[in-house]
Structures are given as structure tokens and as C-alpha cells.
Amino acid sequence: MTAKQWALAPWSWFLPAPPHGGQGTPPGAAGAGAPSGRDACGHRPTAGTVRFEQVGKTYPSSAGPVRALSGISLDIPAGSIFGIIGRSGAGKSSLLRTINRLEQPSEGRVLVDGQDLATLDEQGLVLLRRRVGMIFQHFNLLSSKTVFDNVALPLRVAGVRPDHVRARVAALLDLVGLRGKADTYPGRLSGGQKQRVGIARALVHAPEILLCDEATSALDPQTTQSILALLRDINRRLGLTVVLITHEMGVIREICDEVLVLEKGRIAEAGAVWQVFGSPAHDATRALLRPLEHGLPGDLQERLSAHPVPGGASRRVLELHYSGAGGLEPDLARIAAALGGTVRLLHGGVDRIQGHSHGRLLLAADLGGPDAAALAALNLCHHARELGYVPDHA
């Protein structure tokens, strides 16, 4: 395929390399990193899978060994967007960095598409790093080189022909929305634009996996949204696996399919985002999710009391939870009918995650209706509790 043809068919060129070089393989990297598992048609249904088997990591330090990871066994499915969360020091970066062997496990194995990374020699490692791209919080761009040269560098190092480099970099800059910025230096770019350069550079070798360690942490919320949209777009169009670490739970909720919660180097829980966020089973997860919770409105909190107001009219405050399970949606008419009397919505915070309703409603209801547990028994919510009482006019 000529450079011109590549430029005309940019999407196919971004796909992971087919066997024995050919259309997706950058010249000079023929067959680079071709994983073993292919079906009879040459498709790679498993390209981009990661398997951790009993992975442990201990760092030596002057103060004694630091245990960063213990007994991590987990699969990351090909083509998914997989989030890793946990408190600071939980081991997130240590785990992520084993996927491109920036870190080697002290115990256990890491397999990419079935290949044990511990068995790679120097050349195997070079090929692995082409299959696994990475972007960083602080972009890691060379300030003395233009946008074009930053993205072109890994191709030049790989010995790719200049005309192919030109076509490839142009197509990548188009992909990340930086057409026209090829000759600009990083110092003249916004944070979001710098991260777009980082993403383009990470994609030069058409990787199967993209690792993102806090890739949006240095960006404002609006720019974060645009980078997330770009990552999701790349995931969908190119089918590559995205593994991302973030402290922003909204990011996980927004784009991840699955999430792993690490706590002190161990798996606290893992699963589909809607399940883990809808029914967090571990204290660490609940603590991480607290910023997403809609707290009680301040005025309501002030007026809330543990008992009905003596001698005055009071209303009960009920909190109804939706965990996303079973397709259950808040049905206000049925809830009002079950509670009877007048029901007022005090506060609503129900989001949809991967098509599942998740969150809670705060309602003020007349005294004397069915208790909170009855609402869950009637399948009106997953879980309900009484928070207290407010004066009738609240």
C-alpha cells in the first residue's frame, strides 16, 4: 500500500496489524507484535486481552520492602474500556505498568493475548511496547520538537520511511482533531491539545491496548469531557482495549465498561460499572463514590429531626435507592399510589449508567403510610430507608 492509499484509508490503517505485515503494519515493523490467537479467517477475536494471574509486586526501599500488589487475578476483555480506581498508593499505577512491562511482577504472571510478558527478550519487549500504547498525566512531550515531530518520533526510531511517516502522522493528527497544528510547539498548546498529541503519539504503531494513567487529571472539566469523548471514539472505531486509571469517579461512570477497585494492593471488587457503582460491596468503593452522591440539600438537613415534631404536622423523609439491577426504573406514579396522601419530590439524583438507572430519590410523604422496606418489597426501588421527619411546610 502506498503512502497516498494509507492517507485515503486512514481508519483501516489504524487497526491493529494483520498477520505477516501488510495493510496495517508500519513499514519496518512487519508483523510487529502479531499475537498468536487468530481464527481461520485471520481475525483476532482476542487481540487486546490482558490476564493477571496471582500478580504480586514488592518494591525494595531503604525503609524496607514495600508491598504494592498482592494476589491480583483478573481478565481485561479485548475492546473494553477498563477503569482502575483506588485510594492514593493502592497500587493502580504499579498494576497498569505491568501491562507494558514498565514494571515486572515479583510474583505471578501478566499475559497479553495469551503471551507471558516475562518470557519476552529485548526485541519482544520492543514489539510489546508497539502493541501497548500509553498516555500520561503530564503528556511527556518534547518541548523542543513540533507536534509533527513528537508524533513522528516513534516511527522514525522504528525506521519507517519518511513518506510513510508523513502520511501516518497527518492521519493521526486528523484523528485527534489537531489538523493544522503540525508545526506548532507544545508550549503553544492548551492542556487538552497536548493530551491529544500524547494520544496521537501513543497510536502511531496501531496498538491493541492503550494505557492511560491519570490522563485527564491535569485538565479542566470541559477539556476532560472532550478527551474522554476522543478516547471512547478511538475505542469504538479502532476496537482497541483502553485501560485507564483515574481519581475522578465521574470519568469511570461516563466511559468505562468494567472497573477494578484496588485497596492496599488487593482487589476490593471488580465488575461491570453499573453493578459496582450501583451496589458497592466494599468500604473502599463506597468511600471513593461519596463525591458522586447527592448529599441532602442543606436546608433539609437543618430541618431534619429523628422524631415527628410534637404538636405540629410532620412529614416523613424517605430515601429510595436504585442500584441499576433488573432494569428497575423510578415509577413516580406507582410510588405515590403506594405511599398514599401527598408525596413531594425533595431531591432527585438518578443517573443512567450503561442503560441502568442508578441513584436515589428523596421524598416527603404523609405519616402513617407503608414503611420503607415495603417499598422495596413492592419492587418500587431496590432499597429504601427513612431518614427522619421534617415540618409539613419543608
Ligand X SMILES: Nc1ncnc2c1ncn2[C@@H]1O[C@H](COP(=O)(O)OP(=O)(O)OP(=O)(O)O)[C@@H](O)[C@H]1O
Angle value at C-alpha 26, between 20 and 29, nearest 5 degrees: 60
Any contact of residue 284 with ligand X (CB under 6 A)? no
* AA identity, residue 16: P
Q: Which stretch binds Mg ion (CB under 5 A): 91-99, 140-148, 236-244, 281-289?
A: 91-99
**Nearest to ligand X of 64, 355 (CB atom):** 64
- From ligand X, Mg ion, none, interface partner of 226 (C-beta below 5 to 8 A by class): none
User: Which residues partner with 135 through β-bridges?
Assistant: 212
Nearest-CB residue for Mg ion = 93
**Nearest to ligand X of 90, 203 (CB atom):** 90
94 Cβ neighbours under 8 A, 6+ residues apart = 57, 68, 69, 103, 265
Q: Residue 112 and residue 35: Cα distance in Å, rounded? A: 8
Task: Out of 12, 93, 137, 146, name the contact with Mg ion by CB under 5 A.
Answer: 93
Q: What is the DSSP letter of 34?
A: -
The arrangement of strands across the sheet holding 356-365 comes to: 343-353, 356-365, 314-323, 383-391
> Between 68 and 87, how does the x/- string for binding to ligand X read (CB under 6 A)?
x-----------------x-
Name residues contacting ligand X, limited to 369-388 (CB under 6 A): none
Any contact of residue 36 with ligand X (CB under 6 A)? no
Q: What is the DSSP letter of 394?
A: -
Residue in this structure with the C-alpha cell 407503608, named with its chain if needed: 370
Strand 66-76 to 50-59 pairing: antiparallel
Any contact of residue 288 with ligand X (CB under 6 A)? no
Task: Out of 61, 119, 123, 222, name the contact with ligand X by CB under 6 A.
Answer: 61
- At residue 99, the 3 state secondary structure works out as coil
Q: Residue 196 and residue 185: Cα distance in Å, rounded? A: 13
**Nearest to ligand X of 54, 301 (CB atom):** 54
Task: Out of 8, 9, 30, 66, name the contact with ligand X by CB under 6 A.
Answer: 66
**For the chain, percent helix, then strand, then coil, each to nearest 5?**
35, 25, 40
Task: Out of 88, 119, 123, 143, name the contact with ligand X by CB under 6 A.
Answer: 88
CB of 232 to ligand X, least distance (A): 23
> Between 91 and 120, how does the x/- string for binding to ligand X read (CB under 6 A)?
xxxx--------------------------
Determine which helix (DSSP H) or strand (DSSP E) holds 122, and give its type and residue range: helix 122-131
CB of 242 to ligand X, least distance (A): 17
Q: Residue 59 and residue 125: Cα distance in Å, rounded? A: 22
Q: Residue 267 and residue 84: Cα distance in Å, rounded? A: 10
Number of residues that bind Mg ion (CB under 5 A): 1
- From Mg ion, ligand X, none, interface partner of 59 (C-beta below 5 to 8 A by class): ligand X
Where on the chain is the footprint of ligand X (CB under 6 A)?
Answer: 59, 61, 66, 68, 86, 88-94
Where on the chain is the footprint of Mg ion (CB under 5 A)?
Answer: 93
